[in-house]
């Protein structure tokens, strides 16, 4: 099992991505293939960057990948809002996906802060040992 498979943020990102895939399918039914591809790509960016970052050799590098995943939640939210304005997505679907994206964004932020706190704590422990 890969490290990322146990991460709640990765699991949640996969759930959200799957909802975006369903949206992409409905866009394809309307022959909006470029929109569908963009939704799939941005949707996959979230779990893929979390997974890729988990393979990093440092927390600092992992945090960079988490930042990309977090920014992808904003990209997805923007697309959902534009699609809603053009009537390409139902209001209830828009609200549900935006809520999911917001929750995922907050989870990624919290996880990043935890990694940063642990990194700083470890750095401080090393500095105290040197004294």
CA-based nearest residue to 46, from 85, 102, 123: 102
**Is pLDDT of 131 > 70?**
no
Q: How many structural domains compose the chain? A: 1
Provide the pLDDT for residue 119: 77
Provide the pLDDT for residue 87: 95
State how far the Cα of 61 lies from the Cα of 20, in Å rounded to an integer: 27
Mean pLDDT of the chain: 94
Any idea what the CATH number is for the domain that residue 34 is in? 1.20.1440.60
- DSSP string across the chain: --GGGG-HHHHHHHHHHHHHHHHHHHHHHTT-HHHHHHHHHHHHHHHHHHHHHHT-SSHHHHHHHHHHHHHHHHHHHHHHHHHHHTTSS-HHHHHHHHHHHHHHHHHHHHHHHHHHHHHHHHHHHHHHHH-
Range of the domain at 112: 3-130
Q: Is 7 helix (H, G, I), strand (E, B) or coil?
A: coil
Q: How far apart, in Å, do the first and last CA atoms of the chain sit?
A: 40
Tens digit of each residue's pLDDT (9 = 90 or more) over 86-99: 999 999 999 999 99
């Amino acid at each position: 099992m890969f490290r990322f498979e146990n991460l709640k943020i990765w699991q949640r990102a996969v759930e959200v991505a799957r909802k975006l895939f369903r949206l992409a399918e409905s866009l394809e039914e309307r022959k909006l293939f470029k929109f569908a591809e963009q939704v799939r790509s941005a949707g996959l960016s979230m779990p893929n960057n979390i997974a890729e970052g988990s393979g990093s050799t440092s927390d600092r590098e992992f945090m960079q990948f988490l930042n990309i995943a977090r920014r992808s939640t904003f990209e997805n939210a923007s697309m959902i809002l534009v699609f809603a304005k053009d009537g390409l997505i139902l209001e209830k679907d828009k609200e549900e996906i935006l809520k999911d994206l917001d929750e995922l964004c907050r989870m990624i932020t919290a996880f990043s802060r935890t990694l940063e706190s642990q990194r700083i704590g470890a750095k401080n422990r090393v500095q105290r040992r040197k004294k």
